[in-house]
C-alpha cells in the first residue's frame, strides 16, 4: 500500500496515457481502474482463465500476469480496438451469428485470442483453433460454437487481401 507510485506512459488502443502506478501494479487493474478500459475481465487473477487477454505488440498476453511498468512504451490492444480491426470485426460477426456468446464474460478475451490466431494463421485447422484457444475458459457454450465461429471467420477471410492489424488505430 505504501509502494511508491511512479509515472509511466502506456499506449492503449492507439492513445497514449500518463498514469501513476506502483511497481507491482498489474496491467489488468491499471486498464480497468485507471483507464476505464473494461473489456479485459478479471476471472481468476493468476493466468488460468484467459478472460483478461489483451495483445501486447500484437502478441496474445494475459494482462492479469503483466506488470504495468513492464509494458511501458509497448503497444497494448484490448478488445475495444480489436473489434475495430477488419479481422476482429469478422470474428465478432461470426461469434454473433453462431451464438458463441452466451453470458459473454469470457467473450472479450476469447475474441482477442481468436483474432490473434487469424492474424497470424489465415487457414487454421480445427486442431490449430482448439490449441490456440486452450487457455481461454468458457463455461456456457461448450466451445462448439466458438470453434465453428473461428472456422467460419477463417473461411470468410480466405481469398481476401491480407488485412494488416492496425493495432492502436
According to the binding rule CB under 8 A, does residue 99 interact with other proteins? Answer: yes
Taking the least distance from each CB to other proteins, the nearer of 109 and 165 is 109
From 9, 123, 131, 169, residue interacting with other proteins (rule: CB under 8 A): 131
From the list 133, 153, 154, 167, which residue makes contact with other proteins (rule: CB under 8 A)? 133
Indicate the helix (H) or strand (E) that contains 32.
none
Contact between 125 and other proteins by CB under 8 A: the answer reads no
SS3 content of the chain, % helix, strand, coil (to 5): 40, 15, 45
Reading the block at residue 55, the C-alpha cell is: 495483445
DSSP string, 40-59: S--S-SSSSS-TTEEEETTE
Nearer to other proteins, 15 or 134 (CB): 134
Using the rule CB under 8 A, is 21 a contact of other proteins? no
Residue 147 CA: distances (Å) to CA of 24, 80, 101: 36, 21, 12
Contacting residue, 79, 87, 153, 154, with other proteins by CB under 8 A: 79
HSE-CB at 44 with a 13 A cutoff on CA atoms is 15
Q: What is 38-104 written as a DSSP string?
A: -SS--S-SSSSS-TTEEEETTEEEEGGGSBGGGGTTSEEE-HHHHTTSHHHHHHHHHHHHTT--SS-
| Binding status of residue 142 toward other proteins by CB under 8 A | yes
The single residue among 42, 67, 122, 168 that binds other proteins, judged by CB under 8 A, is 42
In whole angstroms, the minimum distance from the beta carbon of 32 to other proteins comes to 8
75 binds other proteins (CB under 8 A): no
Q: Using the rule CB under 8 A, is 15 a contact of other proteins?
A: no
The residues of the shown chain that bind other proteins, judged by CB under 8 A, are 1, 32-33, 38-46, 48-49, 51, 78-80, 83, 92, 95-108, 111, 126, 129-131, 133-148, 151
Amino acid at each position: 500500500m505504501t509502494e511508491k507510485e511512479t509515472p509511466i506512459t502506456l499506449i492503449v488502443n492507439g492513445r497514449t496515457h500518463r498514469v501513476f502506478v506502483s511497481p507491482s501494479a498489474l496491467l489488468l487493474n491499471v486498464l480497468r481502474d485507471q483507464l476505464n478500459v473494461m473489456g479485459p475481465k478479471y476471472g481468476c487473477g493468476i493466468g488460468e482463465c484467459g478472460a483478461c487477454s489483451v495483445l501486447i505488440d500484437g502478441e496474445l498476453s494475459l494482462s492479469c500476469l503483466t506488470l504495468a511498468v513492464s509494458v511501458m512504451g509497448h503497444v497494448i490492444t484490448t478488445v475495444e480496438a480489436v473489434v475495430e480491426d477488419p479481422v476482429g470485426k469478422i470474428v465478432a460477426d461470426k461469434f454473433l451469428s453462431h451464438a458463441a456468446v452466451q453470458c459473454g464474460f469470457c467473450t472479450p478475451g476469447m475474441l482477442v485470442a481468436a483474432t490473434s490466431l487469424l492474424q497470424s494463421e489465415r487457414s487454421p485447422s480445427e486442431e490449430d483453433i482448439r490449441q490456440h484457444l486452450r487457455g481461454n475458459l468458457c463455461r456456457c457454450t461448450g466451445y462448439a460454437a466458438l470453434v465453428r465461429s473461428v472456422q467460419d471467420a477463417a473461411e470468410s477471410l480466405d481469398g481476401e487481401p491480407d488485412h494488416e492489424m492496425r493495432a492502436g488505430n
